[in-house]
Amino acid sequence: MPSDVVLDAVARLASRDMTRTEADLQADIYLLLTAGSLALNAAQVARLEVPTGDGTRRRLDVEVGHCVIEVKKDLRNANICRDAETQLEGYVAIQSQRLGTRYVGILTDGTDWHLYHLTPGGLTQVATLTVSSATVDCEKLLVWLEAILATHEAVKPTPEAIRRRLGASSPAHLLDHASLATLYDQASSIPEVELKRQLWSKLLRTAFGKAFTDDQKLFVDHTLLVLTAEIIAHAVVGFDVSATGELTPASLAQGVVFSGAQIHGAVEADFFDWVLHVEGGPEFVRQLADRVARFDWGQVEHDVLKVLYEEVIPQEDRASLGEYYTPDWLADRIVASAVTDPLNQRVLDPSCGSGTFLFHAVKAYLTACDDAAVANSKAVAGVAQMVYGIDIHPVAVTLARVTFLLAIGSKRLADPDRGPLSIPVYLGDSVQWEQRRDLLGGSEEVRISTTGDELVEGGGGLLFGDDLVFPRNVLRDAGSFDRLVNAMAEKVLSTSTRRSSDLIAPVLRQFGIHANDAPILANTFDTMRRLHATGRNHIWGYYARNLIRPLWLSELDQQVDVLIGNPPWLRYSKMTAAMQEKYKDLSRERGLLTGGLGASGRDLSTLFVVRAVELYLKPSGRFAFVMPHGTLTRKPHEGFRSGRWGGDVAVQFAEPWDLTRAPTGFPMVSCVVAGQSRPNTPRRMPAKALAWSSRSRNPNMSWGTAKEGFTTTPVTLSVLGSDNLPPASPYKRRFRQGAVLAPRALLFAEEAASSPIGFGAGRIAVQARRTPFEKAPWKGVRTLRQTVERAFVRSVHLGETLVPFRMLQPLRAVLPLGPKGILEAERVEDYPGLASWWSEAEEIWRANKVESDDSSLLQRINFHGQLGAQIPTGSHRVVYSKAGNSIAAARLNDSQPIIDHKLYWAAVSGAEEARYLVGILNSTMVLERVRPLQALGLFGGRDIDKNVFAVPIPSYDAEDKNHQELASLSLEAEAVAAAVDLSAVADFKRARRVIRQELVRCQLAQRIDDVVARVIPPVQADAE
């Protein structure tokens, strides 16, 4: 808590008392800096009225370290603020040039604080803070200033400390990002820098598919993250990374000194050391290291790099890429359950992310070593042989390597008896998209492509030359292979004009390369030389060594005992076209595309697990992975749940974990699947699960903190398509989903103002119906206006026009529909008004649709024939809602309205059958039977779809008295629903609740439930 003196000073600063002078403000700022617990050191003495030293009489209001604070009485006046910024720019420029380092400026009137840094284009504002109250904002102001000045030392690296001092909202980070972005602008045209960004993009496009955009801001963010992590790695092993230390920026960014400490693979020259190639870059690395040096990295108790990643990369960016790392408590429990003998089980996380699972696996191994009295030197050497990680994300790999070091801890690493240590975390393609082979044979060569947008190539020529090709024989010894590639990379730098074959020959002899393999490596060396000639070398040795590591781990004598992790949840629709084709091929061969279902409803996670088991897990080895919850119950995953995955790949599933009520921080509900590799005796996933729940909803907890709030309960899962469900209702075949009428901004319309003289018979003026709920890019398109033929302005029912037992007023849409179906494109031209609207709509559609979508708007609205199926249709239809936590159904006795895709519909024989079905669908009893079958979202059941017909609803029988009674009760319910005044209820969800409440009040809901219970057979007990 700040002292009373400091609180009083901040109160005066925040008051905007116009009687106070600038000197008064300066005095309070000086008091804040010196008495506010900022821990200023000898180089950061706060001084007032400091001469600029440029021979003028100008003075800095307040200077502290490499920061000037310019003070004005009131910055609300735009002219004063503009003049002050010009004055501050001069001060910052003078001091930057004099000191030869980054110098920043703060402009303040005591209430508003603005932080600036200098770019080639002038002074740029990077952060602001408003102080309105001393009691509320004093601590916030002190933290803000401390993050800029970097004054505290030996800071314990807690999540909160990292957020305040290094997180995305901290002024220090904003300064660093702005500085680094300026440096990249200067470096982006350098061929080597350009190549590094291209390879970074290639890896991430393979990891995230179409969700990834090659964005400069993201590349700069990733660079800042990696540099920070690499500096932390040096600090962890005991190096002084502060400004007074002896490490150069190049050694910090490329890990040069690690070899001297016999630690390999922790920090390497990689995609992100480009900053060293630009003027001012080394100075930037030095300043960043000075801030990192404030932390005591020997006090780490968690996966600190995960925290750093989630703080630096904005949540919306992580969400768009599907990046959600496993919470600490869950990784702890999975490692504890799967790694039962840490000293003797080799463990691999094939999608290691920032290294959360690795952190706990390393801790488990070292704890077991301590319990067994294993010497520290042997324990540290052994952990690198027992715990491995792979990831295709270049940032994640660096973070995971440092996390590995953090898990070992600085005390163990500083042990004088510690021997050489290689950090076993590799950049690689765990799925091995392009290495099509089985474990016992196949290609004798491994290829690394030097071109293309992704690792999963779709064919086409090569940009730079042949692939980098390596004989499989040279992979047998991973260490030897690394040294071979490094030796080849060093030879590439030779300026000799000798032939490639002559230049590489001594290296091949040195490593004892067989005569049959020598020509292959000579050709690869020649390719590397040609890459170097175009300024595109440097990174290829690192790239090749890392991408080949998964192949090494998949060899029979290298496979592991335990697989753990959180595989990528990349949806099929987000994969690139080349990935989609590979995905379908690999999934079909392994029995994952079952039941006539296509790939579109699936994601990468199941294939990833299957490939990991197939490639890296020993027979009888164990696995445990975090997965989307639908893996446990949804139809698209039936092939995965079978445990038989093609050829001799099979597993015996153990009881899964249901995490529906557990705090995970994921954007969707999740589960854990586990089991053992059993090539000859598969066992499908049990329908019994262990449900985890917690009183806390905070996922960012260690298990030690969280365990008291957790409970586990056995539950039975309702698995679609399995034998534990009764036969489906005959109505399942009769219902189908409505039409995808989207984007709504091009289709839905409302009547426009009429002309004083009208528009002639059969025509109507309409304009597009716009709403605040539209999403990009459609919310930005122009509003269509046209006079069209009335016949093409059709009523449309959506989820928002349906409530229990009642259809509300439909919306209207301009649709090219004739009495017999959808008009062909040439027929649309026969109707001038429709043609004008539709041609403009098609033009906007083509300009804004997803690039990979080659359909016209006319084709789009008839996706899967869902629109054409409605023309013509019967005069009696039943409509029910697709999604939500409850079912709403109603009878529609008009053949004209179109049904939107948020509803399901079926034509029925007459009003009595319609009322019979509507009564069942609206009943509480059916809802309770359907809920376990729904796909789950974070807020409960998400999709009802046709799962409702897993309840065995019998066909309507006009002779059955129960059916007759149900139809009669539904007629009463229609009257009750129609009488409810909804004029003041704007939200359709609220309208549904109001009608249900009225049905309960008049006891109709209970009477309907009683009859439905007699109509539908009771649930039989599940057979074990």
Domain annotation covers residue 605: yes
Cβ atoms of residues 257 and 247 within 8 Å? yes
**106 plus 195 within the same structural domain:** no
- Helix (H/G/I), strand (E/B), else coil: 98: helix
Predicted confidence at residue 114, as pLDDT, reads 94
**647 plus 605 within the same structural domain:** yes
Between CA 677 and CA 688 the distance in angstroms is 20
Domain annotation covers residue 823: yes
CATH of the domain at 82: 3.90.1570
Catalogue the E-assigned strands of 634-743: 651-653, 657-661, 670-677, 688-694, 710-716, 736-737
Domain annotation covers residue 380: yes
**244 plus 342 within the same structural domain:** yes
Spell out the residues 6+ positions from residue 939 whose beta carbon is closer than 8 angstroms to its own. Answer: 885
Spell out the residues 6+ positions from residue 19 whose beta carbon is closer than 8 angstroms to its own. Answer: none
**756 plus 905 within the same structural domain:** yes
Token readout for 492 is 């590439």
Closest by Cα among 990, 992, 978 to 804:
992
Token readout for 245 is 């230390």
Domain annotation covers residue 846: yes
Between CA 974 and CA 710 the distance in angstroms is 46
Domain annotation covers residue 561: no
Domain annotation covers residue 423: yes
**354 plus 400 within the same structural domain:** yes
Q: C-alpha angle 356/358/361, rounded to 5°?
A: 115
**534 plus 573 within the same structural domain:** no
Q: What are phi and psi of 492, to 5 degrees?
A: -60, -30
Between CA 179 and CA 117 the distance in angstroms is 8
Predicted confidence at residue 710, as pLDDT, reads 94
- Helix (H/G/I), strand (E/B), else coil: 836: helix
Between CA 980 and CA 998 the distance in angstroms is 8
**147 plus 214 within the same structural domain:** no
Predicted confidence at residue 723, as pLDDT, reads 55
Between CA 660 and CA 669 the distance in angstroms is 5
Between CA 386 and CA 407 the distance in angstroms is 14
Token readout for 883 is 């999604």
Domain annotation covers residue 416: yes
Which of 525, 556, 587 delimits the end of a domain? 556
**133 plus 185 within the same structural domain:** no
CB atoms within 10 A of CB 21: 10
Upper half-sphere CA count for residue 180 (Cβ side, 13 Å):
28
Predicted confidence at residue 440, as pLDDT, reads 30
Q: How far is CA 499 from the centre of its chain?
A: 48
Cis bond upstream, residue 743 (ω within 30): yes
**703 plus 744 within the same structural domain:** no
Cβ atoms of residues 711 and 730 within 8 Å? no
Between CA 641 and CA 673 the distance in angstroms is 10
Between CA 772 and CA 792 the distance in angstroms is 25
Predicted confidence at residue 245, as pLDDT, reads 83
Which domain covers residue 671, as residue numbers?
567-716
**10 plus 98 within the same structural domain:** yes
**192 plus 219 within the same structural domain:** yes
Predicted confidence at residue 927, as pLDDT, reads 85
CB atoms within 10 A of CB 983: 5
Q: How many separate domains does the chain show?
A: 5
DSSP code of residue 293: T
Q: What are phi and psi of 890, to 5 degrees?
A: -155, 165
**550 plus 666 within the same structural domain:** no
Split the chain (1024 residues) into runs of 10 and give each run's mean pLDDT: 85 90 92 82 79 81 90 92 92 85 89 91 90 85 85 77 82 89 91 84 78 86 91 85 86 85 82 90 91 79 73 68 80 97 97 93 97 96 94 88 88 88 87 56 65 51 56 77 78 72 87 90 84 63 72 78 93 83 90 69 90 94 95 88 90 95 87 94 93 89 90 86 68 93 95 73 91 90 94 96 96 94 90 95 92 84 91 92 87 94 95 96 87 55 74 93 96 96 90 95 95 82 38
Domain annotation covers residue 500: yes
Closest by Cα among 468, 467, 471 to 512:
471
Cβ atoms of residues 80 and 87 within 8 Å? no
